[in-house]
Amino acid sequence: MSSGEEHPRVAQQGPGRLDLNQFLPYRLNRLADRISDELERMYAQRYDLNVAQWRVLAWLSHCDDLTAKKVCTYTNMDKARVSRAVQALVDRGLVTRTPSARDQRVHDLHLTPEGAALLSRLIPEAQDWEAELVATLSAGEYRDLLNAMGKLERQLERIG
């Protein structure tokens, strides 16, 4: 923004009043919840997975060196939720959990062939769903959205 140009501010609504529909944290959280709910409905109906299990599988799809602790960090999910998701995936034969050669207190997670096969079906469906969701945006709007999200994430790192 150029100097003198004002940022849109919720505070213009008056002291002690907050229009949540104009409050970015609320809107982003609401949107993220709705997106997660829709995706979970698809995962649950077709693959008997919940969001936490899907996130573990998704990270395993492109990380060779993954532990439950790293999943917690990458996904911002708590330890108990990740542990339950990993256990359910192990029980279904989609993931293996083995003691790390580097640290016996840590377990390495790996996709099984069955887990990889499931992801080979699930990922294209998730990508198709995402494409349908963002179809309302032009390529430039989509790029701008991702850039703006990146800026906000970097700003959170600076101010957090």
What number of other Cβ atoms are within 10 A of residue 53's Cβ? 25
What is the count of structural domains for the chain?
1
Residue 41 lies in a domain: yes
Residue 12 — φ and ψ, nearest 5°? -65, -10
| Residues contacting residue 140 through CB under 8 Å, at least 6 positions apart | none
pTM higher than 0.75: yes
CATH of the domain at 155: 1.10.10.10
- How many CA atoms lie less than 13 Å away from 12 in the CB half-sphere? 7
Query: Is residue 13, in this structure, part of any structural domain at all?
Result: no
What is the per-residue pLDDT across 122-153, written as a single tens digit (0 to 9) for each? 999 999 999 999 999 999 999 999 999 999 99
Is the model's pLDDT at 8 over the cut of 70? no
- Residue 51 inside a domain? The answer is yes
Coil, helix or strand for 15?
coil
Per the CB < 8 A criterion, the answer to whether 42 and 129 are in contact is: yes
**Residue 63 maps to a domain:** yes
- At 109, phi and psi to the nearest 5? -110, 140
Would you say residue 14 lies in a domain?
no
**pLDDT tens profile 63-122:** 877 999 999 999 999 999 999 999 999 999 999 999 988 887 889 999 999 999 999 999
**Which structural domain range is residue 44 located in?**
19-159
